[in-house]
Amino acid sequence: MSEVDRKKRMVEIIHNYDENQAADAIYEKFIKLLEWVIFDITRCLLKTVEPKQGHWISSNEKDYDESLDYCFNCASKKVAEFNKKSKTKKYMVDGGWENHDSDYEAYCEECKCLLNYWPTEECAINIVEDFEAVEEITNEMSDDYLYSLNVVCGAAEDFENQGLRNRIAKICIKFLQWYSLYGKKKSASQ
């Protein structure tokens, strides 16, 4: 959904708020708004952070399957190395798509930089578990951590697992508690 559409729907939901609605319907809207609001806040906090596009290495070798993620620089270096060693097989840099679906949080295998990704439910569950494991977020929240929350909130609307949506709502509230105490400091450091 585009940012404009999302904003329009946010306003619509708030304007059409009806206290006589069934509690379930209110809860559903509340969860959606919460996800969107946290998506916006985390994106603002990450405005200077630019995750790189994920790449991988493919080859003309039959059954070659190295499913590791790299940034473009590291993938290019690896490909050059591999091609130097091999006379018969050819390796090339593949991928480079924006926000590709991922079952895990994506980092470059070599330099460990953050890559952009869009979480599947499986990936979101892992991220949610990380947040749940922390009693209260009091220390500096890393950009990688913020980014994982940002993409989970962005993707959450498509998740069919209602239990997962409820857990995301809980970590959003946990994040808001952190934000009310440390958000200003984090904003200033950007």
Binding site for Zn ion (CB under 5 A): 71, 74, 108, 110-111
State which residue, 45 or 75, has the beta carbon closest to Zn ion: 75
∠ CA 5-168-119 to the nearest 5 degrees? 70
State which residue, 111 or 181, has the beta carbon closest to Zn ion: 111
**Least distance to Zn ion, CB of residue 73, Å:** 6
State which residue, 26 or 68, has the beta carbon closest to Zn ion: 68
Q: How far apart are CA 98 and CA 118, in angstroms?
A: 9
**Least distance to Zn ion, CB of residue 117, Å:** 14
Q: How far apart are CA 4 and CA 14, in angstroms?
A: 16
**Least distance to Zn ion, CB of residue 69, Å:** 9
Among 157, 150, 116, 164, smallest CA distance to 1 is for: 157
Strand 66-70's sheet: what is its strand order?
Answer: 66-70, 54-59, 91-97
- For the range 82-88, what are the long-range contacts, defined as Cβ-Cβ under 8 Å and sequence gap of 24 or more? 82/57
**Least distance to Zn ion, CB of residue 20, Å:** 55
State which residue, 44 or 111, has the beta carbon closest to Zn ion: 111
Q: How far apart are CA 140 and CA 153, in angstroms?
A: 20
State which residue, 58 or 183, has the beta carbon closest to Zn ion: 58
